[in-house]
Structure formats: structure tokens, C-alpha cells
Amino acid sequence: MKNLFDFAEAFFCQANVDEKLALTHQAWQTYIAKELTFTSGRPVLPIDRVIFPARPELLAPRQMPRRKLTTTAGVAAFFHAIAHVEFVAIYLAWDILYRFRGMPDQFYQDWLRVADEEAQHFELIRMHLRAIEIEYGDLPAHSGLWDHAKDTADDLLGRLAMVPRCMEARGLDVTPALIEKFRILGDDASVAILTRILTDEVRHVERGSYWFKFVCQQRGFEAEAKYCELIDQYYIGGKPKGPFNRELRKIAGFSDAEIDWLES
């Protein structure tokens, strides 16, 4: 394959985890080799045609068991949950570049890079899980992340607000404290993985901010006001709860006004 959207359909239309990872890396390497095309006259598949693996079992977030990081089972459950977040993040990156056409080539290049990096994150965590004799799919996972994609399947600004600029941005708020907890526990391997993920996620959220502002400018919207409006529209419960990492969010393209609104 040499076409980005053919790669995306191949990713979405089969359930094998390793094949999905391989397709993602192959697409990125095809782009690096300057052999990837970004044109397609084929219709976009409905989002309900996207296929997920049979495992893990998906539960509502409130049904997920809570475990402490001070136990082996708790660490395993934590990293299994992170593995699922990163796995769904591959889908989210593929879906935004597949579903929303007519954007500049840089848009598709940015989200393909995100997909490839999310696949790398997943592979790092899966290796970490295997070291403690857990396989991805052995434990349940929460179903909420992909719901945001379905909710915004016809709304590019809504997708950018809810995924990179809301759900992924929460990682910027909570991951530094988690890194510190594992550092205190002397778990250098976990610290290294989470630090790598955090470094990449700052850039992923920044790309979400960049394209959100780009589309707002194209459509004549004031970006800060539109962000607040879309979070009010799509986020169940009104808006995320803090605390918020102002420093990392500003690096990732948030304005002080947006962060002040989130904190209010």
C-alpha cells in the first residue's frame, strides 16, 4: 500500500493487535520514504464499522476495580489500563486523519506521526506487562475513550477539543505526579516509560491545539470561546476537574484564559 487512507481502512477493518501495530509503523515508514499519497476518492467508512480486538473486556469507567500502586497487582492493573489508553490512542490518531478530509497535508502527517508514537508507547508498556507476566487483554479496560470519537465523528473541532485538548491533556496534569510516585518506589523502568510517554504527549496535545486554532481561524471562530463551548457541549459533567498543570498545558498550546476557565 502507498495510500494513507488505504492504510487507515486496513487498520480499522481487522482485529489482530500485532497487525495493527505493523500497519501503523509501515505507514509511517512509507511516509518517511516519501512514497505515501494523501488523496482518496473512496467514501469514508462509518465509525461503527471500526473493529476492535475481542479482548480486553470493556467496562464502564465506574465499574473498573481500584487497586493501589503499592501492590504488584495494583501496578499490573495500572499499566494494563495505560496500555489500553495508548492502544485506543492509536485508533484515535488514525481516525482523525481518516475521517476528516480536505485538510492540508501537514495535518495528515502530524496525526500519522502521533499514531506511530502511540503504537511505540503501547509496545513499551506491553513489554513492561510481560515482564510481570501480564498480557494486554488479561484484565478488563474502560470503554470511555472511544465514545468521544463516536460522539464527534462528524465534528472536527469537537474531536480536537475533546481528544487531544481534553482527554489527552489530562495526561499532562496527572503523569508528573505518577512519575514521582514510581521514583519514590525505586521503579526506574516505570519512571522511564512514563517519562517517554509524557514527553511525546506534550507534543501531541500541542498538535491538537495548533489544528484547533487553525480550523477556528478558517471558520471565523474565536478559538478560546469555541473551546469552552465545545467542552460544555461534549464533556459529561460540564468540564474536567483539576488540578491542571499550567506549565505543561501552556507548552502544549493552551492559553491562560482557557486554563483559568477550566479552573473556575
Query: 3-class SS at 215?
Result: helix
Cα–Cα–Cα angle for 192, 149, 56, rounded to 5 degrees: 60
Cα–Cα–Cα angle for 105, 203, 165, rounded to 5 degrees: 90
User: What confidence score (pLDDT) does residue 63 get?
Assistant: 75
206 CB contacts (<8 Å, ≥6 apart)?
251, 252, 253
pLDDT tens-digit profile of 24-76?
Answer: 999 999 999 999 999 988 899 999 999 999 999 988 777 777 778 878 888 99
Between 261 and 67, name the one with better pLDDT: 261
pLDDT tens-digit profile of 160-210?
Answer: 999 999 999 999 999 999 999 999 999 999 999 999 999 999 999 999 999
23 CB contacts (<8 Å, ≥6 apart)?
7, 10, 11
In this structure, are residues 79 and 187 in contact, taking their beta carbons and an 8 Å threshold? no
Nearest partner of 56 among 140, 182, 123, 130, judged by Cα = 140
Average pLDDT over the chain reads: 95
In this structure, are residues 88 and 146 in contact, taking their beta carbons and an 8 Å threshold? yes
CA distances (Å), 54 to each of 16, 136, 197, in order? 9, 11, 26
What's the grid cell of residue 229? Answer: 463551548
What is this structure's pTM?
0.96
Confidence of residue 252 (pLDDT cuts 50, 70, 90): very high
Euclidean distance between CA atoms 111 and 117, whole angstroms: 10
